[in-house]
Amino acid sequence: MKDAAQKKGIEVSIKAVPVAEFKDNIDTADIVLLGPQVKYEHAKLQAIAEPMGKTVAVIDMMDYGMMKGDVVLDKAMKMMES
């Protein structure tokens, strides 16, 4: 995702953290993307993020597995626009 953003000239801050650190990072996040291996956490984390006006989404398993950072970045940017 970082490489894709750089190629597109988009300035972003992307970091990966464990689910256990969600609450420590949600205040500074615009959007939270979950790896497919923790999609079972989605409803719980979205319930925490929603009152803050934040979105939590699960990265598509194929995009994640194929390391399609450009596709994941595009999807995240579209979610942030809506």
List of E strands, 1-82: 31-34, 55-58
What pLDDT score was predicted for residue 33?
97
Burial of 59 (C-beta count, 10 Å sphere; 0-12/13-18/19+): buried
Q: How many CB atoms lie within 10 A of CB 34?
A: 19
- Give dist(CA 22, CA 14) in Å, integer: 14
pLDDT in tens, 19-36: 999 999 999 999 999 999
| Under-50 pLDDT residues of the chain | none
DSSP designation for 22: H
- Give dist(CA 72, CA 48) in Å, integer: 23
What pLDDT score was predicted for residue 82?
76
What pLDDT score was predicted for residue 79?
93
Tokens of 57: 């989404």
What pLDDT score was predicted for residue 59?
98
